[in-house]
Structure 1
Amino acid sequence: MSDTVEFDLDAYLGRIGWEGERVADVATLRAVHLAHARAIPFENLDAVNGTAPSLELGDLLDKLVRGRRGGYCYEQNTLLLHALEALGFGVTRLSARVQVGADGLESRPRTHMTLLVEVAGETRPYLADVGFGAVGALLEPVPLVAGEEFEGAGRRHRLVRVSHRGPLDLWVLEAFEQGLAWEGGWRRQYAFTLDPGEKPDFEVFNWFVATHPRSPFTQRLYVQRMRGDQHVLLSGRELTVTSPDGTVSKREVSEEEVSRLLDEEFGIDVPQSHQKDHAG
């Protein structure tokens, strides 16, 4: 399918369960972002089965909106981009280097997709991201302001500017994690500049991440969602539940339970062609 398909805003808003006034203001941006993050699960079923998921609008609508599926960053944030544009926001794609578990700021390629959102009447844009597969992910967008702490739906974030060798400012999104005393509670999530990306760039990134044998998304099943104020993650056959106070519970699950969890816990219908041992 091609992006000549018209975006179905009614179907999208129905999928995320949002019924607010359709105005392009900060309140709408925050509410739609949070509703999307809570409604559509993060999942890599296509990649773990050796297929790069389509980023064409019609396919995204069929899979994430009309279908009982989720997706990872390229799918989730491309869908959000179309929704925000339909609501009247200005949106720019940005690429980022994931910092969770990284050895340094430039030790990984720019394979994450995030969004910069312009709001009419606001002097600063917002960082929006419903596709970061980690417990430190944004639930609500944050203003592009250095050094200030922002709370959104129970999670705390801040953006910092750090020195690097490039000509553009390097921004780092940090999340506050309970019990992370040796880093003052703050952990880097990803680093980015404001160099705009385009759809063809992310089609290349998407293909690489979904098919390269060393990509973590080709190695094991990775599914997450919010359950109330808890973050629920299924990584391979390990189920992890993280509470707002930082309490973590983990347990191993069987392959039969993986199938049940995908259906009942995460709200995902596994396509017939994908029904095999995904756990890795």
Structure 2
Amino acid sequence: MHQPAHAIASLDLDAYLARTGYRGTLAPTREVLDALHTAHVHSIPFENLDILLGRPIRIDLGSVQAKLVSARRGGYCFEHNTLFVAVLRRIGFKVTTLIARVRFQQSDITPRSHMLSLIDMPGGPLLADVGFGGPGLSRSVRLVEGEIQPQDVDVVSLRREGSSFWVLESRMGEQPQDLYAFTLEENYPVDYEVANHFTSTHPGSLFVNNLMAALPTPEGRVTLRNRTLGVLRHGQLERVELDREAIVGVLRDRFGLEIPAGAQLSCPGLDA
């Protein structure tokens, strides 16, 4: 099943549009899809603070809407894409939800732990993903092998691997870098619940072990991994190593994220 009709009906679309600043038309076209996609990633940060605060990550639509829209927080892929898919379906897009194995900065085979979506369009299917963070998509890409597809900052392409896999790769460097691999098999909320349990609780999970935040900007992007702040502006990357005491201020000023008074962020990456 897709998200239940009553769940999508509970979406506060006006509040979502206010959160992202989108003021355009609402119709199931590629122009609208891309404008919504860009508005979303520029407004709602990628972050995993609740895991480090000892809070559960709930990915039902009501919980995601309360956190990312009402509380003006961010989240990671399951949260972002659950919300975005509900918005697209409300507008009238036909969406299939998929799951991927992340390859970015990984050398081992990883579990299926990244949510993305495929949108059925008259001109051919489009891949959408507002929840990868870092070098993630700023707009949809056509499901076409080998086509170079510019994003706001990055350039990406897709390639086939074997008979069933697609691989999304970044083409920014001298050598293409794989971001993730996926099939076109539809996945369901229960599949994401299992994957979310792993990513939010397993001792070996990247998100349990590291503080992570990312937000694209008109000039590039800002990222935070543990104490390393990265600012990409007009193609130039600057990295700054932060004192532990500066992190709360950076989360507030750079990402719009408020840490509850007295709360302590804790993970191996921060404490190293």
What TM-score comes out, normalization by structure 1 length?
0.89
Contact 2:210 2:226 in 1 (8 A): yes
More moved, 43-52 vs 71-80: 43-52
| C-alpha distance in 2 between matches for 1:273 and 1:216 | 25
Match of 1:116 in 2: 118
Q: Which of the residues 31, 48, 53 maps onto 1:49?
A: 53
DSSP-derived class of the 1:207 partner: helix
Contact 1:222 1:234 in 2 (8 A): yes
Using the TM superposition, give the Cα deviation of residue 102 of structure 1 relative to its aligned residue in structure 2, in angstroms.
Answer: 2.5
Q: Are 1:263 and 2:252 an aligned pair?
A: yes
| C-alpha distance in 2 between matches for 1:209 and 1:273 | 26
Contact 1:48 1:210 in 2 (8 A): no
Q: Which blocks of at least 5 consecutive residues in structure 2 are unaligned? A: none
Q: How does 1:266-277 map to 2 (within 5 A)?
A: 266-272=255-261, 274-277=263-266
Amino acid at match of 2:208: T
Using the TM superposition, give the Cα deviation of residue 242 of structure 1 relative to its aligned residue in structure 2, in angstroms.
Answer: 2.2
Q: Are 1:253 and 2:242 an aligned pair?
A: yes
Q: Which of the residues 187, 192, 209 maps onto 2:199?
A: 209
Amino acid at match of 2:113: T
Q: Which of the residues 165, 182, 186 maps onto 1:196?
A: 186
DSSP-derived class of the 2:255 partner: coil
| C-alpha distance in 1 between matches for 2:232 and 2:203 | 29
Q: Which blocks of at least 5 consecutive residues in structure 1 are unaligned? A: none
Using the TM superposition, give the Cα deviation of residue 254 of structure 1 relative to its aligned residue in structure 2, in angstroms.
Answer: 1.7
Match of 1:130 in 2: 130
Once the two structures are superposed, what CA deviation does each residue of 1:172-199 show, in whole Å capped at 9, x if it has no partner?
001122xx32x2xx21100000011000
Amino acid at match of 2:29: D
Once the two structures are superposed, what CA deviation does each residue of 1:226-278 show, in whole Å capped at 9, x if it has no partner?
13222111111111112352x32111112221111111110012234744456
Contact 1:51 1:210 in 2 (8 A): no
Once the two structures are superposed, what CA deviation does each residue of 1:82-109 show, in whole Å capped at 9, x if it has no partner?
11111110111111011112226xx111
DSSP-derived class of the 1:52 partner: coil
Match of 2:221 in 1: 231
| C-alpha distance in 1 between matches for 2:196 and 2:118 | 19
Q: Are 1:171 and 2:173 an aligned pair?
A: no
Q: Are 1:7 and 2:11 an aligned pair?
A: yes
| C-alpha distance in 2 between matches for 1:44 and 1:10 | 26
Contact 1:232 1:241 in 2 (8 A): yes
Alpha carbons of structure 1 residues 94 and 69: separation in structure 2 relative to 1, 3 Å: same
Contact 1:49 1:218 in 2 (8 A): no
| C-alpha distance in 1 between matches for 2:262 and 2:45 | 20
DSSP-derived class of the 1:111 partner: strand
Alpha carbons of structure 1 residues 277 and 99: separation in structure 2 relative to 1, 3 Å: closer
| C-alpha distance in 1 between matches for 2:221 and 2:34 | 19
RMSD after superposition: 1.8
| C-alpha distance in 2 between matches for 1:249 and 1:206 | 32
Match of 1:72 in 2: 76
| C-alpha distance in 2 between matches for 1:69 and 1:219 | 20
What TM-score comes out, normalization by structure 2 length?
0.91
Count of residue pairs the alignment pairs up? 264
Q: Are 1:101 and 2:90 an aligned pair?
A: no
| C-alpha distance in 1 between matches for 2:11 and 2:145 | 34
DSSP-derived class of the 2:83 partner: helix
Contact 1:68 1:269 in 2 (8 A): no
Using the TM superposition, give the Cα deviation of residue 152 of structure 1 relative to its aligned residue in structure 2, in angstroms.
Answer: 2.5
DSSP-derived class of the 1:265 partner: helix
Alpha carbons of structure 1 residues 82 and 274: separation in structure 2 relative to 1, 3 Å: farther
